[in-house]
Structure 1
Amino acid sequence: SVRELRLSGVSRGGTSLVQGTMSLARKRLAQERREWRKSHPHGFYARPDKKEDGSQDLFKWICGIPGKKKTLWEGGLYKVTMKFPSEYPAKPPKCQFAPPLFHPNVYPSGTVCLSILNEDIGWKPSLSVKQILLGIQALLDEPNIKDPAQQEAFDLFKADRAAYNERVRKQAIERAPSFN
C-alpha cells in the first residue's frame, strides 16, 4: 500500500535510515577530528577539506604521510585524499594519493590497495584515521607483492630492485615538503 511504501525508508525516530547512517558517520568523523587534533604522529597531517562555501567537509579529508626515517621514502611527504562513505564506519574510506604514487600497491589512479581498506578482507569499524595513515606509511616501504595494483612498479620491484629503489628515492625528493 501507499502507507507501507512511505514507511519503508523510515526508522522508528521518524528519520530515514540514510539520515541516521549519515548522522552516525558525521559523529564518528567529528570524533576522529577531535582525537587527531589532540594527538597525531609527528610529520603527519589530516584535516577535513573545505567545501565551496568555506565549511568543513567531514567526508573528505586531505592528509599527508611522511616517508619513514631510514627508508627510501624518507624526506617525502605524500598527499592522500580520504573519502568517507555515508556508511562509515561500517564501510572503509577510499584513500587515494594525489598525484598518484609509483608503488606496487597503488593503482595508477592513486587509489591505495591495502587489506585494512577492503571491507571484505581487513576493514574493522574500530580502525581510526591515525591507524589507517600509519598502515599506509608502513605499506610504502613494505609492499605486498601478493596483491599488486600497479604493473609497472610491481615488475620493476621484482626484476630490478636497484632501479626500483632509485625511482622511489627520486619520487621522495620530488615530494619533499617545501617551506617557501
Structure 2
Amino acid sequence: MCEDSCVNSVKARVAFLEGDLSPHKYGRKDMAPVMGVPPPPPEPHMGPDGIILPRKPYNPCLISNNHKDLRRELLFNQKMGKNVLNQKSELQRALERRQRDSALRRESQKNREETYKDDPRTALQRALEQRAKQLELSENPINIEPPNPLVTARAKLRTRTDSQ
C-alpha cells in the first residue's frame, strides 16, 4: 500500500519536472518529501497589478518527520527531568561527582565495619598486620625468570601464521 503511494508520488514528481502536469493540478499536500527531498516551492501568487504577493518562506523543519520526532522526544525528556543533551555546568558535574564519591566511601566504610564486626582485633592491629605483609613482600620479591627469547619469538611467529 505504502509502496504504491510512494511510487505514484515519485512518478508524479518526475512527470511534473518533465512538464507533463500543470503546476495547478499538483498540490502541496500530494507532494510528501521522499528521501529528504523537499517539495518544490509553490506557484507565486500574483496580485491584480501583476506584482508577486509576499509569502512566508518554506520551512523544511515543519515538514520533516525526523525533526518533529526529535523535538517531541526532547520535550518529553525535559518534562521527565532527563538531560539527554548532557548540558550540565561544571559546577553541577563536580557536585554530582562529589556526592557519588562520598556515597561510595560511606558504602565501603559500612562494608568494612560489617566484615570486622566480630573480629576481636582493633583497626590499629589490622593495619599493623597489613604493613608487615607489605614489608615482607618488598624484602623478598618473587624472582620470575624471563622466558627464553627463542620460545617467545616462535610463539609470535606461530600466532602470525595462524591468523593468516
Q: Which has the larger Rg?
A: 2
Question: TM-score, structure 2 length as denominator?
Answer: 0.25
Question: TM-score, structure 1 length as denominator?
Answer: 0.23
More helix by share: 2
Q: Which has the higher contact order (CA 8 A, sep 6+)?
A: 1
More strand by share: 1
